[in-house]
Amino acid sequence: MEIIKATILDLSALRKLELECFGKDAWPLFDLIAVLTFAEVIRIKAIEDGQMVGFIAGDPHPRDGWGWISTLAVDPRYQRRGIGRALLHACESKLGVPKSRLTVRISNQGAISMYEKYGYKTKDIWHAYYNDGEDAMLMEKNL
C-alpha cells in the first residue's frame, strides 16, 4: 500500500469511492473538485493494486488551533486492513495544528470505534446535523 498526495487527476476515482462509501451522503462534484484543488487542503490517497482504495482530506485552521478531518473513505473491499488508520495518521501529521476535529454520524459505529481507538474523544452532539435529521458526534483529538 502506498500513501501519497492526491491531485485533481484523481477526480473520477474519488467520485466512485465516495459513492461506494457514502451513497446518499456522497459529496457533490463541486465539493470534490474543491477538496482536490483548494490550496490549504491536505489531500492524501491510498493506492493498492494500482488503484485508489482510500482517501482523506484535512482542513487546517491554524488561527483557531485545530484542523478538520473533512472526509475519510476506504473502499469496502479493502477495509479492516489498516488503510483508514494509515490515512488518518498521515493527515494528522500534516495538519500542523494542536488539535484535530471531525464529525461523524452517531449511527456510524465502525468509524466511531476507529476514531476512539486512535485518541478521539466526543466533545459535543450536534442535533439534526445531517440532511436526514441524524445527529452528529463532534470528536476531537490532541495531536
Ligand X SMILES: CC(C)(COP(=O)(O)OP(=O)(O)OC[C@H]1O[C@@H](n2cnc3c(N)ncnc32)[C@H](O)[C@@H]1OP(=O)(O)O)[C@@H](O)C(=O)NCCC(=O)NCCS
Q: How far apart are the first and last CA of the chain?
A: 24
Identify which of residues 51 and 113 has a Cβ nearer to ligand X in the complex. Answer: 113
Q: Are 54 and 40 in contact (CB under 8 A)?
A: no
Identify which of residues 73 and 97 has a Cβ nearer to ligand X in the complex. Answer: 73
Query: Phi first, then psi: what are they for 114, rounded to 5°?
Result: -65, -45
Closest distance between ligand X and the C-beta of residue 54, in Å? 6
Closest distance between ligand X and the C-beta of residue 113, in Å? 4
Closest distance between ligand X and the C-beta of residue 57, in Å? 11
Provide CB contacts within 8 A for 109, sequence distance 6+: none
Provide CB contacts within 8 A for 80, sequence distance 6+: none
Identify which of residues 12 and 113 has a Cβ nearer to ligand X in the complex. Answer: 113
The residue type at 66: W
* Cα dihedral 79, 47, 118, 133 sign: negative
Identify which of residues 39 and 107 has a Cβ nearer to ligand X in the complex. Answer: 107
Residues contributing to the site for ligand X (CB under 6 A):
21, 72-74, 79-85, 104, 108, 110-111, 113-114, 117
Closest distance between ligand X and the C-beta of residue 14, in Å? 13
